[in-house]
Amino acid sequence: MRLRRSMLFLPGANAAMLSTAFVYKPDSVMFDLEDAVSLREKDAARLLVFHALQLPVYREIETVVRINPLSTPFGRQDLEAAVRAGVDVVRLPKTDSAEDVLELEREVERIERACGRPFGSTRLMAAIESAGGVVNAVSIARSSPRMIGIALAGFDYVMDMQTERGDGTELFYARAAVLHAARAAGIDAFDVVYSDVNNEEGFLKEVDLIKRMGFNGKSLINPRQIELLHNAYAPTGEEVDYARRVVAAADQAERQGLGVIALNGKMIDAPIVNHAKRVLQRAEASGLRK
């Protein structure tokens, strides 16, 4: 169970950010070669990201590269550089169908074999940015064993729906569809970027919503949002105390060879135990909620 609460976007052409973003301690860093990079900077950004991926400071943080779509002149070059540099996860933008993921998977397999990287070590993530992608979310989420998650990208989605960002009503169906698809496939779900970095109240309100819905985490564009997000996902003292008792009861039942787990006279099943372990994992990473 890997924590993926925060995924910090880093513009691929910004050398300063690429070399220092690790200090903010996001769960994942995402080197962006797509929307955050102008056409004239594509080649330079790709080279910068290739070298950044090999920095020792990023060995303890999950690395993600958002490539350009494979249908563009840059997509396959981006993918070649990212896989050869050892990226953990490739994020495919504008994913509309399972075939988009399968095409990416075939290219990744080819590059892994060509460069001698262990087969299957490059994981995949799909960004859903359209009505079509939302409708096909389940097949996308189940398309490849390499998939670790699917992400909803809000800006392009609301444009495709002919609306605009508001109080969250415009995203509710898409959020629910993406989240259910991820859970059905057994992978993670990531919420949209909150672009108003100076509105902490609005950000936290949205984080509270997506946490209660069940999202694993959120894509971020500003390091200031990381601590706020991690604290919102951190458990309370009461939640940690109960989680410890649940895990202890499960461990005791296993030692005694019991098929039934009980705590304070109540039956406990595997989903409750797994949830308790996630609570303790979040507490270990973030401490208690402030």
The predicted-structure confidence for 22-40, as pLDDT tens digits, reads as follows: 899 999 999 999 999 999 9
d(CA 160, CA 154): 10
pTM: 0.90
pLDDT-derived band at 169, boundaries 50, 70, 90: very high
Across 129-140, average pLDDT: 98
How is residue 225 written in tokens?
């949002």
What is the rounded average pLDDT of the residues 242-255? 89
User: Residue ranges of the domains in the chain?
Assistant: 6-233, 237-286
Whether pLDDT at 216 is above 90: yes
Please say whether the dihedral angle defined by the alpha carbons of residues 107, 102, 26 and 218, taken in this order, is positive or negative: positive
pLDDT bracket for residue 137 (50, 70, 90): very high
Assign domain 6-233 to its CATH superfamily.
Answer: Phosphoenolpyruvate-binding domains (3.20.20.60)
Instruction: Supply the pLDDT for residue 138.
Output: 98
Local confidence band at 118 (pLDDT 50, 70, 90 cut-offs): very high
Amino acid letter for position 37 = V
43-76 pLDDT, tens per residue?
A: 999 999 999 999 999 988 999 999 999 999 999 9
Which one-letter amino acid corresponds to residue 92? L
Which residues have C-beta within 8 Å of that of residue 150, sequence separation ≥ 6? 95, 125, 126, 127, 128, 137, 140, 141, 178, 181, 182, 187, 188, 189, 190
Residue 30: closest CA among 151, 132, 163, 144: 151
